[in-house]
Protein backbone atom coordinates (compact mmCIF):
# COMPACT_ATOMS: atom_id res chain seq x y z
CA UNK A 1 0.00 0.00 0.00
CA UNK A 2 2.71 2.45 0.97
CA UNK A 3 4.83 1.57 -2.06
CA UNK A 4 1.88 2.18 -4.40
CA UNK A 5 1.16 5.53 -2.69
CA UNK A 6 4.72 6.67 -3.14
CA UNK A 7 4.75 5.74 -6.82
CA UNK A 8 1.46 7.63 -7.34
CA UNK A 9 2.91 10.73 -5.68
CA UNK A 10 6.00 10.46 -7.87
CA UNK A 11 3.88 10.23 -11.00
CA UNK A 12 1.91 13.32 -9.98
CA UNK A 13 5.11 15.25 -9.32
CA UNK A 14 6.53 14.18 -12.68
CA UNK A 15 3.41 15.35 -14.50
CA UNK A 16 3.57 18.69 -12.71
CA UNK A 17 7.20 19.16 -13.78
CA UNK A 18 6.40 18.28 -17.39
CA UNK A 19 3.50 20.76 -17.42
CA UNK A 20 5.68 23.53 -16.01
CA UNK A 21 8.39 22.81 -18.59
CA UNK A 22 5.91 23.20 -21.44
CA UNK A 23 4.68 26.66 -20.46
CA UNK A 24 7.60 28.81 -21.70
CA UNK A 25 7.04 27.61 -25.27
CA UNK A 26 4.23 30.12 -25.74
CA UNK A 27 6.18 33.13 -24.58
CA UNK A 28 8.31 35.31 -26.81
CA UNK A 29 11.32 33.38 -27.92
CA UNK A 30 14.86 34.59 -28.63
CA UNK A 31 16.26 34.50 -32.14
CA UNK A 32 17.88 31.44 -33.64
CA UNK A 33 21.28 32.83 -32.69
CA UNK A 34 20.26 33.13 -29.04
CA UNK A 35 18.45 29.81 -28.96
CA UNK A 36 21.61 27.84 -29.63
CA UNK A 37 22.92 28.67 -26.17
CA UNK A 38 19.86 27.15 -24.55
CA UNK A 39 20.43 23.61 -25.75
CA UNK A 40 18.71 21.59 -28.44
CA UNK A 41 16.02 20.32 -26.11
CA UNK A 42 14.84 23.77 -24.98
CA UNK A 43 11.19 24.58 -25.83
CA UNK A 44 12.22 28.08 -26.82
CA UNK A 45 14.67 26.72 -29.37
CA UNK A 46 12.16 24.58 -31.24
CA UNK A 47 8.79 25.92 -30.14
CA UNK A 48 6.15 24.06 -28.18
CA UNK A 49 2.69 23.27 -29.46
CA UNK A 50 1.50 22.30 -25.99
CA UNK A 51 2.67 25.55 -24.46
CA UNK A 52 1.31 27.72 -27.27
CA UNK A 53 -2.17 26.28 -26.70
CA UNK A 54 -2.31 27.01 -23.00
CA UNK A 55 -0.50 30.29 -22.43
CA UNK A 56 -0.89 33.58 -24.35
CA UNK A 57 2.31 35.12 -25.74
CA UNK A 58 4.15 37.54 -23.46
CA UNK A 59 6.74 39.31 -25.64
CA UNK A 60 7.39 41.94 -23.01
CA UNK A 61 9.09 39.32 -20.84
CA UNK A 62 11.87 38.58 -23.36
CA UNK A 63 11.93 41.36 -25.92
CA UNK A 64 13.87 44.58 -25.59
CA UNK A 65 11.47 47.31 -24.42
CA UNK A 66 9.62 49.72 -26.70
CA UNK A 67 9.65 47.77 -29.96
CA UNK A 68 6.90 49.66 -31.77
CA UNK A 69 4.36 48.24 -34.22
CA UNK A 70 6.38 49.48 -37.19
CA UNK A 71 9.08 46.95 -36.30
CA UNK A 72 6.87 43.89 -35.90
CA UNK A 73 4.79 41.79 -38.28
CA UNK A 74 2.84 38.52 -38.43
CA UNK A 75 2.87 35.49 -40.70
CA UNK A 76 0.77 32.32 -40.66
CA UNK A 77 3.00 29.24 -40.54
CA UNK A 78 2.67 25.50 -39.99
CA UNK A 79 3.79 24.36 -36.54
CA UNK A 80 6.33 26.01 -34.28
CA UNK A 81 9.46 24.24 -35.47
CA UNK A 82 12.01 25.13 -38.15
CA UNK A 83 9.99 23.93 -41.14
CA UNK A 84 8.48 27.35 -41.86
CA UNK A 85 10.13 29.64 -39.34
CA UNK A 86 12.82 30.92 -41.80
CA UNK A 87 10.08 31.56 -44.36
CA UNK A 88 8.05 33.43 -41.73
CA UNK A 89 11.07 35.54 -40.76
CA UNK A 90 11.65 36.40 -44.43
CA UNK A 91 8.03 37.44 -45.04
CA UNK A 92 7.82 39.58 -41.92
CA UNK A 93 11.11 41.32 -42.73
CA UNK A 94 9.65 42.43 -46.07
CA UNK A 95 6.57 43.81 -44.31
CA UNK A 96 8.58 45.61 -41.63
CA UNK A 97 10.86 47.30 -44.16
CA UNK A 98 7.78 48.70 -45.90
CA UNK A 99 5.93 49.67 -42.71
CA UNK A 100 8.92 51.39 -41.14
CA UNK A 101 9.96 53.34 -44.26
CA UNK A 102 6.68 54.12 -45.99
CA UNK A 103 8.24 52.83 -49.21
CA UNK A 104 6.21 49.85 -50.57
CA UNK A 105 8.72 49.33 -53.37
CA UNK A 106 11.17 47.79 -50.89
CA UNK A 107 9.03 44.65 -50.60
CA UNK A 108 10.05 43.42 -54.06
CA UNK A 109 13.47 45.05 -54.19
CA UNK A 110 16.16 42.47 -55.15
CA UNK A 111 18.25 43.67 -52.21
CA UNK A 112 15.39 42.84 -49.86
CA UNK A 113 15.25 39.32 -51.29
CA UNK A 114 18.92 38.83 -50.40
CA UNK A 115 18.43 40.16 -46.87
CA UNK A 116 15.35 37.98 -46.37
CA UNK A 117 17.51 34.87 -46.71
CA UNK A 118 19.19 35.84 -43.44
CA UNK A 119 16.30 37.63 -41.74
CA UNK A 120 17.05 35.96 -38.39
CA UNK A 121 20.07 38.25 -38.02
CA UNK A 122 17.74 41.20 -37.46
CA UNK A 123 15.19 39.51 -35.16
CA UNK A 124 14.93 40.53 -31.50
CA UNK A 125 12.41 37.84 -30.53
CA UNK A 126 9.28 36.07 -31.73
CA UNK A 127 6.25 34.20 -30.47
CA UNK A 128 3.52 31.86 -31.67
CA UNK A 129 -0.23 31.70 -31.20
CA UNK A 130 -2.10 28.52 -32.10
CA UNK A 131 -4.83 29.48 -34.60
CA UNK A 132 -6.84 26.39 -33.58
CA UNK A 133 -6.47 26.79 -29.84
CA UNK A 134 -10.23 26.60 -29.32
CA UNK A 135 -10.52 23.30 -31.19
CA UNK A 136 -10.47 20.35 -28.74
CA UNK A 137 -7.75 17.75 -29.24
CA UNK A 138 -8.82 14.12 -29.59
CA UNK A 139 -5.31 12.69 -30.05
CA UNK A 140 -1.78 13.82 -30.89
CA UNK A 141 -2.00 13.08 -34.60
CA UNK A 142 -1.39 16.17 -36.72
CA UNK A 143 -0.80 18.57 -33.84
CA UNK A 144 2.59 19.61 -35.29
CA UNK A 145 0.84 20.68 -38.50
CA UNK A 146 -1.59 23.11 -36.92
CA UNK A 147 -1.51 26.70 -38.24
CA UNK A 148 0.10 29.27 -35.96
CA UNK A 149 0.41 33.04 -36.10
CA UNK A 150 4.10 33.84 -35.89
CA UNK A 151 4.75 37.36 -34.59
CA UNK A 152 8.28 38.60 -35.20
CA UNK A 153 9.82 41.60 -33.43
CA UNK A 154 12.79 43.12 -35.25
CA UNK A 155 15.61 45.18 -33.74
CA UNK A 156 14.76 48.82 -34.59
CA UNK A 157 18.37 49.94 -34.94
CA UNK A 158 19.09 47.09 -37.36
CA UNK A 159 16.05 47.93 -39.50
CA UNK A 160 16.96 51.62 -39.54
CA UNK A 161 20.46 50.69 -40.68
CA UNK A 162 19.05 48.57 -43.52
CA UNK A 163 16.86 51.46 -44.64
CA UNK A 164 19.92 53.70 -44.74
CA UNK A 165 21.61 51.17 -47.04
CA UNK A 166 18.62 51.49 -49.38
CA UNK A 167 18.83 55.29 -49.27
CA UNK A 168 15.60 55.40 -47.23
CA UNK A 169 14.86 56.47 -43.68
CA UNK A 170 12.24 55.67 -41.04
CA UNK A 171 8.87 57.31 -41.55
CA UNK A 172 8.28 59.09 -38.26
CA UNK A 173 5.32 61.08 -37.00
CA UNK A 174 1.61 60.83 -37.60
CA UNK A 175 0.30 58.84 -40.54
CA UNK A 176 -2.92 59.80 -42.29
CA UNK A 177 -6.01 57.65 -41.95
CA UNK A 178 -7.13 56.29 -45.33
CA UNK A 179 -10.75 57.23 -46.08
CA UNK A 180 -12.08 55.51 -49.23
CA UNK A 181 -15.03 56.96 -51.13
CA UNK A 182 -15.79 54.19 -53.62
CA UNK A 183 -18.57 53.61 -56.12
CA UNK A 184 -18.84 49.84 -56.52
CA UNK A 185 -20.35 48.05 -59.54
CA UNK A 186 -20.23 44.40 -58.51
CA UNK A 187 -21.08 41.14 -60.21
CA UNK A 188 -24.77 41.70 -59.51
CA UNK A 189 -26.75 44.97 -59.40
CA UNK A 190 -27.46 47.31 -57.85
CA UNK A 191 -24.30 49.42 -57.56
CA UNK A 192 -23.55 51.07 -54.23
CA UNK A 193 -21.20 53.50 -52.52
CA UNK A 194 -19.14 51.71 -49.88
CA UNK A 195 -20.17 52.95 -46.45
CA UNK A 196 -19.83 51.93 -42.82
CA UNK A 197 -23.43 50.72 -42.76
CA UNK A 198 -24.25 49.11 -46.08
CA UNK A 199 -24.63 45.30 -45.73
CA UNK A 200 -23.21 44.61 -49.20
CA UNK A 201 -19.84 46.02 -48.13
CA UNK A 202 -19.29 43.93 -45.00
CA UNK A 203 -16.53 41.72 -46.42
CA UNK A 204 -14.93 44.64 -48.23
CA UNK A 205 -14.71 46.66 -45.01
CA UNK A 206 -12.81 43.82 -43.37
CA UNK A 207 -10.55 43.41 -46.38
CA UNK A 208 -9.75 47.12 -46.35
CA UNK A 209 -8.74 47.00 -42.68
CA UNK A 210 -6.42 44.05 -43.40
CA UNK A 211 -4.85 45.86 -46.35
CA UNK A 212 -4.21 48.98 -44.28
CA UNK A 213 -2.61 47.01 -41.45
CA UNK A 214 -0.09 45.49 -43.86
CA UNK A 215 1.29 48.97 -44.45
CA UNK A 216 1.09 50.13 -40.84
CA UNK A 217 -1.90 52.34 -41.66
CA UNK A 218 -5.46 52.79 -40.40
CA UNK A 219 -8.60 53.00 -42.53
CA UNK A 220 -11.96 54.63 -41.80
CA UNK A 221 -14.98 53.79 -43.94
CA UNK A 222 -17.23 56.89 -44.14
CA UNK A 223 -20.79 56.85 -42.86
CA UNK A 224 -23.87 57.31 -45.00
CA UNK A 225 -24.29 60.80 -43.51
CA UNK A 226 -20.75 61.82 -44.48
CA UNK A 227 -21.19 60.52 -48.01
CA UNK A 228 -24.41 62.53 -48.31
CA UNK A 229 -22.61 65.69 -47.15
CA UNK A 230 -19.87 65.09 -49.72
CA UNK A 231 -22.42 64.58 -52.50
CA UNK A 232 -21.29 61.00 -53.06
CA UNK A 233 -24.12 58.76 -54.24
CA UNK A 234 -24.80 56.26 -57.01
CA UNK A 235 -26.62 58.88 -59.10
CA UNK A 236 -24.15 61.68 -58.35
CA UNK A 237 -20.56 60.75 -57.67
CA UNK A 238 -17.67 63.26 -57.31
CA UNK A 239 -15.60 63.64 -60.47
CA UNK A 240 -12.78 65.46 -58.66
CA UNK A 241 -10.72 64.47 -55.60
CA UNK A 242 -12.10 65.55 -52.25
CA UNK A 243 -9.73 67.75 -50.22
CA UNK A 244 -8.10 65.84 -47.38
CA UNK A 245 -8.83 66.94 -43.85
CA UNK A 246 -6.28 66.99 -41.04
CA UNK A 247 -4.90 63.53 -40.54
CA UNK A 248 -7.00 61.92 -43.29
CA UNK A 249 -6.32 61.00 -46.91
CA UNK A 250 -9.61 60.78 -48.84
CA UNK A 251 -9.38 58.53 -51.89
CA UNK A 252 -12.22 58.85 -54.42
CA UNK A 253 -12.63 56.09 -56.95
CA UNK A 254 -14.62 53.44 -58.76
CA UNK A 255 -14.42 49.67 -58.42
CA UNK A 256 -15.97 47.79 -61.36
CA UNK A 257 -16.25 44.05 -61.89
CA UNK A 258 -15.23 42.81 -65.36
CA UNK A 259 -16.30 39.38 -66.57
CA UNK A 260 -13.95 39.55 -69.54
CA UNK A 261 -10.74 39.88 -67.49
CA UNK A 262 -12.07 38.48 -65.10
CA UNK A 263 -11.49 40.66 -62.06
CA UNK A 264 -11.96 44.13 -60.60
CA UNK A 265 -10.93 47.36 -62.28
CA UNK A 266 -10.07 50.14 -59.85
CA UNK A 267 -9.45 53.81 -60.60
CA UNK A 268 -8.50 56.16 -57.74
CA UNK A 269 -7.91 59.87 -57.17
CA UNK A 270 -6.27 61.62 -54.22
CA UNK A 271 -5.53 65.24 -53.41
CA UNK A 272 -2.69 65.41 -50.90
CA UNK A 273 -1.00 68.64 -49.77
CA UNK A 274 -2.21 70.48 -52.87
CA UNK A 275 -1.13 67.84 -55.38
CA UNK A 276 -3.57 65.64 -57.31
CA UNK A 277 -2.73 61.99 -57.92
CA UNK A 278 -4.49 59.35 -60.02
CA UNK A 279 -3.67 55.66 -60.35
CA UNK A 280 -5.38 52.30 -60.62
CA UNK A 281 -5.24 48.55 -61.05
CA UNK A 282 -7.13 45.91 -63.04
CA UNK A 283 -7.75 42.19 -63.21
CA UNK A 284 -7.45 41.60 -59.46
CA UNK A 285 -9.59 40.60 -56.48
CA UNK A 286 -10.76 43.38 -54.20
CA UNK A 287 -8.12 42.52 -51.58
CA UNK A 288 -5.42 43.47 -54.09
CA UNK A 289 -7.42 46.52 -55.18
CA UNK A 290 -7.58 47.83 -51.61
CA UNK A 291 -3.87 47.17 -51.08
CA UNK A 292 -3.26 49.26 -54.19
CA UNK A 293 -5.24 52.14 -52.69
CA UNK A 294 -3.36 52.06 -49.40
CA UNK A 295 -0.04 51.63 -51.17
CA UNK A 296 -0.68 54.79 -53.19
CA UNK A 297 -1.55 56.80 -50.09
CA UNK A 298 1.60 55.56 -48.34
CA UNK A 299 3.81 56.60 -51.26
CA UNK A 300 2.28 60.07 -51.41
CA UNK A 301 2.12 60.71 -47.66
CA UNK A 302 5.62 59.42 -46.89
CA UNK A 303 7.16 61.29 -49.79
CA UNK A 304 8.75 58.08 -51.06
CA UNK A 305 7.24 58.37 -54.53
CA UNK A 306 4.14 58.74 -56.66
CA UNK A 307 1.14 56.39 -56.25
CA UNK A 308 1.27 55.40 -59.91
CA UNK A 309 4.74 53.85 -59.56
CA UNK A 310 3.96 50.16 -60.06
CA UNK A 311 1.37 48.04 -58.24
Per-residue pLDDT of the chain (311 residues; tens, 9 = 90+): 434 433 443 444 433 433 333 333 344 565 544 443 333 333 333 332 222 233 334 443 467 878 999 999 999 999 999 999 999 999 999 999 999 999 999 999 999 999 999 999 999 999 999 998 887 766 554 566 789 999 999 999 999 999 999 999 999 988 999 999 999 999 999 999 999 999 999 999 999 999 999 999 999 999 999 999 999 999 999 988 887 777 999 999 999 999 999 999 999 999 998 899 999 999 999 999 999 999 999 999 999 989 987 66
For residue 197, count other CB atoms closer than 10 A to its CB.
13
3-state secondary structure of 203: helix
Please state whether 301 falls in left (phi above 0), alpha (psi between -120 and 50) or beta.
alpha
Q: How far is CA 308 from CA 38, 244, 246, 268, 311, in A?
A: 49, 19, 23, 10, 8
Q: What does residue 99 show for φ and ψ, rounded to 5 degrees? A: -60, -40
- In 30-84, alpha helices (H): 32-35, 43-46, 49-54
pLDDT attached to residue 290: 98
3-state secondary structure of 97: helix
3-state secondary structure of 81: coil
For residue 161, count other CB atoms closer than 10 A to its CB.
11
pLDDT attached to residue 22: 35
pLDDT attached to residue 168: 92
For residue 134, count other CB atoms closer than 10 A to its CB.
7
Contact 270, 280 (CB under 8 A): no
User: Which one, of 247, 243, 246, lies nearest residue 272 by Cα?
Assistant: 243
pLDDT attached to residue 191: 97
User: Which one, of 217, 204, 216, 210, lies nearest residue 253 by Cα?
Assistant: 204
What pTM value is reported for the model? 0.76
pLDDT attached to residue 246: 73
Give the neighbor-by-neighbor strand order of the sheet with 177-185: 192-193, 177-185, 248-258, 263-272, 275-284
Contact 46, 82 (CB under 8 A): yes
| Angstrom distance (rounded) from CA 124 to CA 31 | 6
Q: Please compute, for residue 263, the number of CA atoms within 13 A of its CA located in the half-sphere on the CB side.
A: 12
pLDDT attached to residue 64: 81
Amino acid sequence: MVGHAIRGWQRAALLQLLFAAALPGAQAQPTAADAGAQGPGSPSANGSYFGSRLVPPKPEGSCPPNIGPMYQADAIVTGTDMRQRPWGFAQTLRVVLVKSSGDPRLKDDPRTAQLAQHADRFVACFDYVDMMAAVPLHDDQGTSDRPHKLTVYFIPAEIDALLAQFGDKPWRGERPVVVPVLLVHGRKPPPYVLSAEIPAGEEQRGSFATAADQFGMDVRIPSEAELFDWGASVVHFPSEPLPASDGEAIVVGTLDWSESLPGWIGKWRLRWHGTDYSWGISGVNYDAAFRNIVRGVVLAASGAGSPDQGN
